[in-house]
Structure 1
Amino acid sequence: MNDSLLLALAVLALLLALAALLVALSASRRASRRSRRTRRAPELPTDVQGLRGEVHALRAEVSDALRHLSVVRYDAFGDMGGHLSWSLALVDDAGTGVVLTSIHGRSDARTYAKGVTEWSCDQQLSPEEEEAIKLARTG
């Protein structure tokens, strides 16, 4: 046999071995998936089931807590520095809460409160208040 024929046979044998390996790997994955689907989860002890119920109740209870918050500090006026003005968003999981804003000037400070429902407000929001709500929602 000449060298080119032997090389062609060797390449063909290598390709067939690779194809057989891929078929075996695919069959193994399918069998693994089938066995995972048919396996039943073991029955949990009653104390673990009770703990799951308590965790579920705690999650429902804490969803009403004002636990999403964000503060945005800024200069409300161009001639003032130090980022003394701020907007604070305090909202629960549903996006209900309040945005508090304090604007500091040279001679006075003014504070505003605006109600938030479903992550938006009926009153017009400043860009800083909108940013505070957005940060509270994502953070």
Structure 2
Amino acid sequence: MVVLAVLSLLVALVAVVFAVVALRRTAAAPRSAPGDALPEDVHGLRQEVAALRAEASDALRHLAVVRYDAFGDMGGHLSWSLALLDDGGNGVVLTSIHGRSDSRTYAKNVAGWTCEQQLSPEEEEAVSAARPTAG
């Protein structure tokens, strides 16, 4: 039993020596100053992020829905206008007008946050709501 305890103590002592040596090596390793150049893999990552941002700028990622009653005698906000736009304000406004006996759907192209066709107040509200705020 004593031999086993001495052997365990010896193994623990060797482990402590290795830990101290490893700690001294990491402490002596040169540390990069804040002004040093970034590693090459960080530059590659930044290029990938820039490419993804450029690619995503054409995605229809700004959207807003405005629900309303198109006719005074109808309730429930069943009519709606939906703006689907990219970062440049290019896309489409979809509108569905719900009536008692039928529904009509319209699509209008939007370029640069404006439309060649006249937008209804609800469609204008949807485009404005989809536009990202600065900041």
TM superposition score category, shorter chain reference: 0.7 to 0.9
| 1:133 and 2:127 matched | yes
RMSD value over aligned CA atoms?
1.4
Distance in 2 separating the partners of 1:121 and 1:41: 49
Hey, what does 1:123 align to over in structure 2?
117
Q: 1:63 aligns with which of 57, 67, 73?
A: 57
Distance in 1 separating the partners of 2:82 and 2:35: 46
Deviations 1:81-104 (A, max 9, x none): 000000000000000000000000
| 1:86 and 2:80 matched | yes
Distance in 2 separating the partners of 1:68 and 1:41: 38
Query: What is the number of residues matched between the two proteins?
Result: 101
Hey, what does 1:53 align to over in structure 2?
47
Deviation at 1:47, TM superposition (A): 0.3
Q: Any idea what SS the aligned residue of 2:37 has?
A: coil
Sequence identity (%): 75
More helix by share: 1
TM-score (normalised: structure 1): 0.70
Deviations 1:77-131 (A, max 9, x none): 0000000000000000000000000000000000000000000000000000000
Distance in 2 separating the partners of 1:78 and 1:91: 30
Counterparts of 1:4-19 in structure 2, within 5 Å, are: none
Q: Any idea what SS the aligned residue of 1:71 has?
A: strand
Structure 1 runs (4+) deviating above 3 angstroms are none
Unaligned runs of 5+ in 2: 1-32
Distance in 2 separating the partners of 1:41 and 1:119: 42
Distance in 2 separating the partners of 1:87 and 1:40: 51
Q: 1:110 aligns with which of 104, 110, 121?
A: 104
Hey, what does 2:93 align to over in structure 1?
99
Hey, what does 2:12 align to over in structure 1?
none
Q: Any idea what SS the aligned residue of 2:131 has?
A: helix
Unaligned runs of 5+ in 1: 1-38
